[in-house]
Chains A and B, each alone.
Chain A
Amino acid sequence: MSHKNTDAFWNTDWMEQQRQYLEAWQAFNQFMPKSPVIGKKDTNPLTEAMEYWWKSVSPTMPEGGTEFLTKMMEQGKVYYILSEQFSKLLKNFNELSKTSEDWQSALNDQFEELKKIFVHAQGDAKEGVGGMFGAWQMLPIDNLQRAFSSASVLPGDFLEDLKPEKLQKVTDKFLSIPGVGYTRESQEQIQEGIRLWNNYQKVSMEYNHAMANVSLKALDTMRDKIIRMAEEGKEIHSLREIYDLLVDCGEEAYAEFTYTKDFSDLYGRLTNALMAVKHHGRNIVDEMLGALNMPTRRGMNTLLKRHQDMHRESKDTVRKIDQLQDDVTALKRAMNGNGKDINRKSAELAIKAKEKATDKHKAGKKNGHRNALKKAVAKNKSGKTAGKRTTARKDNMIVIKI
Chain B
Amino acid sequence: MIPFQMRPDEILHEVNQFNAKLAQGINTLAEIGDIEVGVSKKTPVYQEDKMVLYRFEPHVKKPNPVPLLIVYALVNRPYMADLQDGRSMIQGLLNAGLDVYLIDWGYPDSADRYLTLDDYINGYIDRCVDVICKEHKLKKINILGICQGGTFSLCYTALHQDKVKNLITTVTPVDFHTKDDLLSKMVRNVDVDLLVDTMGNIPGELLNMTYLSLKPFRLVGQKYMDLVNLLDDKEQAKNFMRMEKWIFDSPDQVGEAFREFTKLFYQGNGLVKGKVNIGDHKVDLENITVPILNIYAASDHLVPPDSSKALKGCVSSKDYTELEFPGGHIGIYVSGKAQKMIPPTVGQWLDKRT
Contacts and interface: CB of A to CB of B under 8 A. Distances in A.
Contact of A75 (B186, B209, B224): B224
Interface string A225-243: 0100110011111111001
A89 B7 CA distance: 10
Contact of A264 (B1, B186, B199, B218): B186
A265 B189 CA distance: 6
A29 B182 CA distance: 44
A139 B189 contact: no
A146 B190 contact: no
A265 to B, nearest CB: 5
Given A93-B4, A282-B198, A239 B217 contact: no
B198 A25 contact: no
Size bracket, chain A contacts: 35 or more
B227 A72 contact: yes
Instruction: Specify which of A46, A258, A308 lies most central, judged by the most chain B CB atoms within 10 Å of its CB.
Output: A308
B185 A21 contact: no
B213 A268 contact: no
Nearest to A60: B30
A276 B194 contact: yes
Contacts of B227: 72
A5 B7 contact: yes
B134 to A, nearest CB: 9
Q: Is the interface of B mostly helix, strand, loop or mixed?
A: helix
Given A65-B30, A71-B224, A305-B114, A267 B6 contact: no
Contacts of A93: 2, 4
A18 B12 CA distance: 8
A182 interface: no
Given A236-B6, A271-B190, A143 B222 contact: no
21 contacts: A1-B2, A2-B5, A4-B6, A7-B7, A9-B8, A17-B12, A60-B30, A79-B18, A142-B209, A143-B205, A147-B205, A151-B200, A226-B3, A229-B3, A230-B1, A247-B221, A250-B216, A258-B185, A308-B119, A312-B119, A315-B127
Nearest to A322: B130
Interface string A186-225: 0000000000000000000000000000000000000000
A247 B217 contact: yes
Contact of A254 (B9, B19, B216): B216
Contacts of A226: 3
A23 B316 CA distance: 71
Interface string A1-30: 110110101101010011001000100010
B14 interface: yes
Given A146-B205, A265-B189, A9 B3 contact: no
Contacts of A50: 19
A67 B241 CA distance: 12
Given A93-B2, A304-B110, A263 B191 contact: no
A101 interface: no
Given A1-B2, A72-B227, 9 more contacts: A9-B7, A69-B25, A89-B4, A139-B213, A147-B203, A147-B206, A254-B217, A269-B189, A308-B115
Contacts of A269: 189
A140 interface: yes
Contacts of B133: none
A139 B14 contact: no
B16 interface: yes
Contact of A62 (B8, B30, B190): B30
Given A12-B8, A259-B182, A271-B195, A135 B220 contact: yes
Given A61-B29, A250-B217, A264-B186, A4 B113 contact: no
Nearest to A137: B216
A253 B159 CA distance: 44
Interface string B175-195: 000011010011011110011
Nearest to B186: A267
Given A62-B30, A69-B29, A139-B216, A268 B188 contact: yes
B197 interface: yes
A288 B111 CA distance: 23
B218 A251 contact: yes
Nearest to B197: A279
A208 to B, nearest CB: 14
Contact of B221 (A29, A64, A75): A75
A319 interface: yes
A72 B227 CA distance: 8
B215 interface: yes
A2 B7 contact: yes
B221 A78 contact: yes
Contacts of B6: 2, 4, 90, 236-239
A98 B2 CA distance: 9
A76 interface: yes
